Structure 1
């Protein structure tokens, strides 16, 4: 780290350099603005402060200060203006350009060192505050990411990886209102794994959990549009929401779900079908402005109940 002295008077540069080096500072010197910028960009010694004559042979010291402060590489370096005049207009221009202090020529040694120490202390404080601000920003970003991860976890079922009941409720309400506004159809499929309690009783809950994961993976394979939703509704119950889907297409998807699960051929000796199967209830509505969401859910539930009453392993559609 070094202090850059910019003045076209070599004797003054030498005098300041001796005083600063005696006090333990390293120094660099430049007689012109061009030399000063070359020193700042050389990178041999990092400049921590610039002492700048207000009048240079090739440029105004005020303009040099303005350029230092405009460059992202040097903008944080404090600048102390050296002036042989206490002209208020020049000093005002220097401070407007970004100078932190000024020293009148001829200067006193103690004053010179005191002002330099003050400028460097201020620079250290500013750098510390910037580091603290950056650390706070980093912590805030980490907290934001953590909150988003928690939010995502709160919307997902840990066992199956599907969205959970909470997310299903929010999603369905949002899509129902959107369908009301747009006049489009909304399909809801309620699904129940047949005879699942007896499956758990025979094979144990670990095998039951594995069966739930396999069924869920099958659902994800069939329902793959980005704006559709498959959710675990609770226990062995699942739900599928299909925005902008008419009944024929919804029936095709529901039947595909049923066939895919049956094709898994998961043995189930306590089921009349010999394998794990599902029952499905389907309801499709083009919601009217004052229609209730509960009517759609009740219709799908009643259709599911009909599938169970009719022998299970089938799809039933609400009228």
Structure 2
């Protein structure tokens, strides 16, 4: 328990120190000179180089000398090392003369000399209790900040999880819808193309009926990985749209630029060599794709309208024999 005592009156300084010893306070730092005390506390140094010379739990400072004494209290309040240390001001002047100025400069308590043992003891105990309360409050604040940060991190994790398909590990429909909205707005502001690709696994119901749902789930996972492996740009997004259907958002990409990607995706799916004896188009798993592309800033299209065009192109790919991709050419404008 560290107690700082500053009093130019040697007699009073000794009385205070002796009493503190009697009350069980043994770490007492006594100064009869204000400048010496400030130097030991390094109050004139920048906080960047300030180091704690000793731990102080309470300070008792004689302010009879006026402004210089009050300034010391003020500097303690401005220091991050001592700002929470309770300061008991004492003065040879009357209570009315010294108390208001002491409190104005940051003192926690005040008493007038001559020193009364019972009064000093009570004020020191009150100051120590105040110090403990400040420490407990700050510890609680730190706990609350840490808990808030942990909750924020947890919420972020939960938010991210809510955007991921639990089976395939790729973004889900909710994430796809959010991305479509963001990328569409960006394309309207900045110009350029945006392309949507709708993908469907051919005859997937028959695959489940033939091999079982467990193998069906594995097929979905493998197909998702194969498609994702062909997306090279950070802004491209593959999502599970629902069931056996996937969707891709391609910012800054035209329909012509998408053809090569769709060809590579088909090759990647073919390379999986997943048997599908119930398929009417191939002995292995295959996919159909519908592509729709537009320049939102130049065409009066909505994102929903373009998605419908991609879905129509997918339907056309299925109607024309599946295991292929079709690019929509019917981009109707809507107000």
TM-score, structure 1 as length reference: 0.90
Match of 1:86 among 75, 79, 94: 94
State the Cα distance separating 1:21 from its structure 2 match.
2.4
State the Cα distance separating 1:250 from its structure 2 match.
1.7
| Distance in 1 of aligned mates of 2:64 and 2:97 | 14
Aligned to 2:45: none
Q: How many residues get paired?
A: 318
Moved more, 80-89 or 276-285: 80-89
Aligned to 2:306: 296
Aligned to 1:32: 33
State the Cα distance separating 1:177 from its structure 2 match.
3.3
| Distance in 1 of aligned mates of 2:184 and 2:34 | 69
Report whether the alignment pairs 1:284 with 2:285: no
Aligned to 1:168: 176
Aligned partners of 1:281 and 1:316 also within 8 Å: yes
Aligned partners of 1:180 and 1:289 also within 8 Å: no
State the Cα distance separating 1:46 from its structure 2 match.
2.5
Aligned to 1:268: 276
Aligned to 2:126: 118
State the Cα distance separating 1:170 from its structure 2 match.
2.1
Aligned partners of 1:186 and 1:245 also within 8 Å: yes
State the Cα distance separating 1:246 from its structure 2 match.
1.1
State the Cα distance separating 1:99 from its structure 2 match.
1.3
Moved more, 182-191 or 37-46: 37-46
Aligned partners of 1:199 and 1:268 also within 8 Å: yes
Aligned partners of 2:41 and 2:53 also within 8 Å: no
| Distance in 1 of aligned mates of 2:54 and 2:195 | 70
Moved more, 186-195 or 87-96: 87-96
Aligned partners of 1:307 and 1:315 also within 8 Å: yes
Aligned to 1:17: 17
Match of 2:62 among 42, 49, 53: 53
Q: Specify every segment of 5 or more residues in structure 2 that has no aligned partner in the other structure, as ranges.
A: 43-50, 330-335
Aligned to 2:6: 6
State the Cα distance separating 1:304 from its structure 2 match.
0.7
Match of 1:302, SS state, is: helix
From the superposition, tell whether residues 159 and 86 of structure 1 become closer, same or farther in structure 2 (CA, over 3 Å): same
Aligned to 1:245: 253
From the superposition, tell whether residues 310 and 66 of structure 1 become closer, same or farther in structure 2 (CA, over 3 Å): same
Match of 1:258 among 251, 266, 271: 266
| Distance in 2 of aligned mates of 1:86 and 1:221 | 84
State the Cα distance separating 1:69 from its structure 2 match.
1.6
What do residues 242-285 of structure 1 show as CA deviations (whole Å, max 9, x unaligned)?
12211111222222211211122223233342222211100011
State the Cα distance separating 1:123 from its structure 2 match.
2.3
| Distance in 2 of aligned mates of 1:44 and 1:187 | 67
Report whether the alignment pairs 1:96 with 2:104: yes
Aligned partners of 2:91 and 2:98 also within 8 Å: no
| Distance in 1 of aligned mates of 2:126 and 2:321 | 88
Aligned partners of 2:202 and 2:285 also within 8 Å: yes
Aligned partners of 1:40 and 1:47 also within 8 Å: no
| Distance in 1 of aligned mates of 2:318 and 2:191 | 32
Match of 1:222, SS state, is: coil
State the Cα distance separating 1:94 from its structure 2 match.
3.1
Report whether the alignment pairs 1:310 with 2:320: yes
Moved more, 62-71 or 266-275: 266-275
